[in-house]
Structure 1
Amino acid sequence: MKYPVKIIKKNHDDLYELTVPDLPGCQLKGKSIEVVMNGITEVIANHLSILAEYGESIPHASLIDELIANQPNVIWAVVDFDIIPYLGKSHKINVTLPELLITRIDDRVNKSEEHKTRSGFIAAACIELLNKNKSN
């Protein structure tokens, strides 16, 4: 999931504050943009772990263009974060797919650094489609 993040320079304490608008309370302060960008994945992981522990759903990411339109005078960035480990326990299911589609999936997985397994690829594709339909 590609979560937009907002970065604001806090002049009174000379720090940068990074917040994830889609994950209320998920924020980090640091001495530079590099520091907050490097640390935010751990903060997101901790936040999503708590949501998963309490059985809460993982919020989908907002469109960064909409956020920029509403708050154009701040620094915006995107953090690509794998939410699959926070969706709950894995269950084995039997799925029937056409052979050509399986071959295409396997070829993509073999060439991809992002997807390590066929199951991970299918899960990511499902999440993307579900989130796309949710915003429509």
Structure 2
Amino acid sequence: MKIQLKRIDNDYHFELKNERGHITHIDSKAEVGGHDLAPSPMEYVLMGVAGCSAIDVISILKKQRQEITNYRAEVDGSRVEIDGAKPFKEIVVTVYLEGEIVPEKAKRAAQLSFEKYCSVSKTLEPTATIKYKVVVNNEEV
């Protein structure tokens, strides 16, 4: 896996491209010298957790023939300062599913994702506590 980064302006706006040619941007907030034109690198980390777990959960539930009509997630990360850096201390993911889904299967799919399969979560595990909640058809399971 390889990413290329190219500086766009004289501050902190960058273009990133993966090996398949997909392009995205990062920037920093205005209060730290950026122009807030794109998510920050740490916001992308949270997006990575959301995306990675979504792929896992949907894949697991599809194999179990569960009918997902809507999927969304909210990820909340809290950080702590350590020697000038601010790594994530805790990440809480709330997964919202709708459809013909057995709640216990949804909960088990999330458990498998966060505790076994999600590479992003597993990468963060040594430094951040990752918690998750599952809500199926507006009911927390």
**What range describes the TM-score normalised by the shorter chain of this pair?**
under 0.3
**TM-score, structure 1 as length reference:** 0.28
Task: Identify, as 1 or 2, the structure richer in strand.
Answer: 2
Larger helix percent: 1
- What TM-score do the two structures reach when normalised by structure 2? 0.27
Structure with greater contact order relative to length (CA < 8 Å, sep ≥ 6):
1
